[in-house]
Amino acid sequence: MKGYSINRPSTRLIGMLENPALPEPSRDRLEKFFRAFSEVESALVAFSGGLDSSFLLFVAREMLGDRAAAYTAVSPFVPARELKSARALASRLGVRHFLVDVDPLSNPELARNPFNRCYLCKKMVYTKGLLLAREHGFAAFMDGTTASDATQHRPGRQAVMELGVATPLMAAGMSRKDIQEASRMADLETWNKNPISCLATRLPYETLLEPKTLLRIDRAEEILASFGFAGVRVRVHADLARIEVPSQSLAQLAQDPLRSDICREFKSLGFAYITVDLEGFRSGSMDLHLSGDPTDRET
């Protein structure tokens, strides 16, 4: 293919570009994204295991081979099941995977859960990522920020820009929809994965973040997942658990023996009150009192 000076797309990536089902505008954005790797010597990818970073890592591996690697921060904010799936996917892609302990709670300001928590956390996590990239000689450190993120309020994006982290998906104009379709063509299991935000988003702002509370939230959401629910959140208000599931699953929660089983499991975690939010899952429901703009929220 023309226009690639050093690194060229793999046969697999070329096949994606030549797929007749791919609309021309999407093909143009996808090829622009591939070209971003043309002169990259090596790259360390900030990898959470979600839709965007998984596709970014996949393409980095296809374009750069062993010169691409993944970086995942291990912290109390990361759900255990997400860390497990990220490790499994990195292994399947055959990339070197750096798992680095990061403790956001070591920062007293961040631990009190301020409104700019996401910015403070992202800056800590990505500062470590940049140091790791330099230590191991990677020419670039990049993350999965997309064009869709640019149209929404993402406090963490400020840290990305301040630190100079590369954002090739956004630079190519690729939206979440583009990435879903490309991931499906690449047979990545993450193509239809529900977004999973950090566990700190389950608590009201200015509520002290403690490891035991975050662990309890993680276990509560794992319980719901074990019963077959996807796209769930357990919002916590002191000793009250407010369960959010997709609206089509609300009726299922009220059926016994499932209802009784969930109550028993949640009470074993120390919750005194177990409630269901009748509005169902809402991205950023902890932010509703901050802004009337639904895009101005975390998940």
The DSSP code sequence of 156-224 is HHHHHHHHT-B-HHHHTT--HHHHHHHHHHTT-GGGGPPP---GGGGS-TTSPP-HHHHHHHHHHHHHH
Least confident stretch, 41-45, 47-51, 192-196, 293-297? 293-297
List the structure tokens of 210: 């403690």
Domain match, 139 and 65 both: yes
- Residue 77: pLDDT over 70: yes
Q: What CATH number did the domain enclosing 240 receive?
A: 3.30.70
- Residue 283: pLDDT over 80: no
Contact 91, 57 (CB under 8 A): no
Which residue range is the domain that position 215 belongs to?
A: 199-287
User: Beta strands of the chain (E only): which ranges?
Assistant: 43-46, 68-74, 96-101, 140-142, 233-237, 240-244, 273-276
**What pLDDT sits at residue 288?**
55
**What pLDDT sits at residue 2?**
60
Q: Give the separation between CA 85 and CA 217, rounded to whole angstroms.
A: 18
Q: Give the separation between CA 145 and CA 52, rounded to whole angstroms.
A: 7
Domain match, 120 and 45 both: yes
**What pLDDT sits at residue 297?**
47
State the average pLDDT for the chain. 93
**What pLDDT sits at residue 295?**
40
Question: Residue 292 falls within a domain, yes or no?
Answer: no
Domain match, 249 and 264 both: yes
Q: Give the separation between CA 49 and CA 268, rounded to whole angstroms.
A: 30
Pairing verdict, β 96-101 and 140-142: unpaired
Interval 155-176 mean pLDDT: 95
- Residue 199: pLDDT over 50: yes
Q: How many CA atoms lie within 13 A of 188 on its CB side?
A: 31
Domain match, 206 and 178 both: no
Question: Residue 164 falls within a domain, yes or no?
Answer: yes
Among 227, 231, 218, 209, CA closest to 277: 231
**What pLDDT sits at residue 154?**
74
Question: Residue 170 falls within a domain, yes or no?
Answer: yes
Domain match, 34 and 153 both: yes
Domain match, 245 and 166 both: no
Domain match, 46 and 113 both: yes
Domain match, 165 and 212 both: no
List the structure tokens of 151: 């149209």
Question: Residue 101 falls within a domain, yes or no?
Answer: yes
pLDDT band at 292 (very low <50, low <70, confident <90, very high): very low
Burial group, residue 25, by CB count within 10 angstroms (0-12, 13-18, 19+): exposed
Whether the bond into 257 is cis, omega within 30 of 0: yes
Considering its fold, how many domains does the chain have in total?
Answer: 2
Q: What CATH number did the domain enclosing 146 receive?
A: 3.40.50.620
Higher pLDDT pick, 299 / 180: 180
Domain match, 120 and 175 both: yes
- Residue 256: pLDDT over 60: yes
